[in-house]
Structure 1
């Protein structure tokens, strides 16, 4: 099949252990674009962290950021944004206080990064895009996840086995990628989507070819159509060479 779009998660997928794009990945991504295939990034990172990588690759495709809470037509042109309910952010903060230092958090907002060092005094006037909780104790992390799930307010995923990531209900990398496809006039069946964590599962399931990295969490591998080499072994380059040029 002639795929028209490649959607790449960043951490654990496109980027190596040094948080860089390897020469091999750059070579094959640019080869794909030269062949007329679009390439986008679909990541939990905010646009301010994504734009430099998009520029490095010369991407001219809409970008999915904050796990789908935003879609940018270009790094400076917002297409879509869905925020979290600030009342629910206050509820999460109340829960975290009961765990003290055992659980940490960070949040991506329109205004910037929020963590324990700079919690706003007025949560209601912050534009919350994504809220994440980190905890090294898997029992505690699951307990927090179960409480948040019971509210039926969030899409809950992770980008690492030690965290929980919350987005607005109905928001995921798949919903963001659907927006990108609509902008480009293509179907999700025309997409190769690659990732390694639970926040990648929706887009991997929805894509024409869903790819899990060799370093992916086991649930991701179980639902994928194909398994790539690990991110530190140019897994992205391998899939592009195999499915675009073979």
Structure 2
């Protein structure tokens, strides 16, 4: 199979916890560009967070952000999106806040409650505005964490949102989830991306490390899990690449492109 595109997760796959991309991976991404291979991020992150890295790496194609809810170009212009209606999002936010959860709403900039703002102080490259500054509640995605089991069960019982729940990669992180409209996933975003670039999904490779990358693997022709991926994803992968700290994305690029 001659592969013509690569969709990659960001956190834990391309980027370290310090939000850095290794020189080996940067070199491999430049190699893709020279060979005319399409590359895009496929991530739960919002474009506003990724923008410095997209521009620094010269990634001029489209990217799947907000867990598949948006397809954007390299300048952040929205090409396609699916939004959670404002009334639904307000109700969900009220529910999360009443359960003392951490909430980040992704709407261009990031907006969050006090718990989210406090947490962001310890994270590189993350700036969160107060939730009361948000004016338009029709949003592509939100992030939720710091809930107990009963609260998670309550939130997961909702049918008007889709939750991609994951376990934190580090001790004591607990669970977190990205929330989107029903039917939205990295897989649906990957289909948009393929349509935009005129690619057959079977000629595209997906690489990732988290539970939400399963939908990506189900959509593309080849799924690659990095060695540090969660067991659920590794079980669904066609190939296992070296871990993030061993430049697994660079390995995949050199092997398949």
Q: Into which bin does the TM-score normalised by the smaller protein fall?
A: 0.7 to 0.9
Distance 1:109 1:143 in 2: 28
Who is 2:117 aligned against? none
Deviation at 1:74, TM superposition (A): 3.2
- After TM superposition, list the pairs within 5 Å mapping 1:47-66 onto structure 2: 47-66=47-66
Larger deviation: 190-199 or 77-86?
A: 77-86
Deviation at 1:76, TM superposition (A): 4.0
Who is 1:205 aligned against? 218
- In structure 1, the gaps of 5 or more residues are none
Contact 1:60/1:74, CA 8 A, preserved across alignment:
yes
The aligned length equals: 236
Among 109, 112, 116, the alignment partner of 1:115 is: 112
- After TM superposition, list the pairs within 5 Å mapping 1:1-246 onto structure 2: 1-100=1-100, 103-110=101-108, 112-117=109-114, 118-120=130-132, 125-135=136-146, 140=148, 142-158=149-165, 160-161=167-168, 162-244=175-257
Distance 1:34 1:158 in 2: 37
Contact 2:43/2:186, CA 8 A, preserved across alignment:
yes
Does the C-alpha gap of structure 1 residues 15 and 86 become closer, same or farther in structure 2, counting only changes over 3 Å?
A: same
Does the C-alpha gap of structure 1 residues 76 and 17 become closer, same or farther in structure 2, counting only changes over 3 Å?
A: closer
Contact 1:107/1:128, CA 8 A, preserved across alignment:
yes
In the TM superposition, structure 1's runs of 4+ consecutive aligned residues that sit over 4 Å from their partners are none
Contact 2:84/2:139, CA 8 A, preserved across alignment:
yes
Q: 1 or 2, which has the higher helix percentage? A: 1
Contact 1:6/1:38, CA 8 A, preserved across alignment:
yes
Distance 1:230 1:3 in 2: 22
Distance 2:13 2:144 in 1: 21
- TM-score scaled by structure 2? 0.84
Distance 1:144 1:89 in 2: 17
- Three-state SS of the structure 2 residue aligned to 1:192 is strand
Does the C-alpha gap of structure 1 residues 184 and 120 become closer, same or farther in structure 2, counting only changes over 3 Å?
A: same
Superposition RMSD on alpha carbons, in Å? 2.0
Larger deviation: 76-85 or 225-234?
A: 76-85
Contact 1:63/1:71, CA 8 A, preserved across alignment:
yes
Who is 2:171 aligned against? none
Deviation at 1:18, TM superposition (A): 2.2
Contact 1:25/1:234, CA 8 A, preserved across alignment:
yes
Deviation at 1:95, TM superposition (A): 2.7
Distance 1:220 1:153 in 2: 26
Summarize deviations over 1:17-51 as a string: whole Å, max 9, x none. 32111011111121122122111111111112222
Deviation at 1:116, TM superposition (A): 0.9
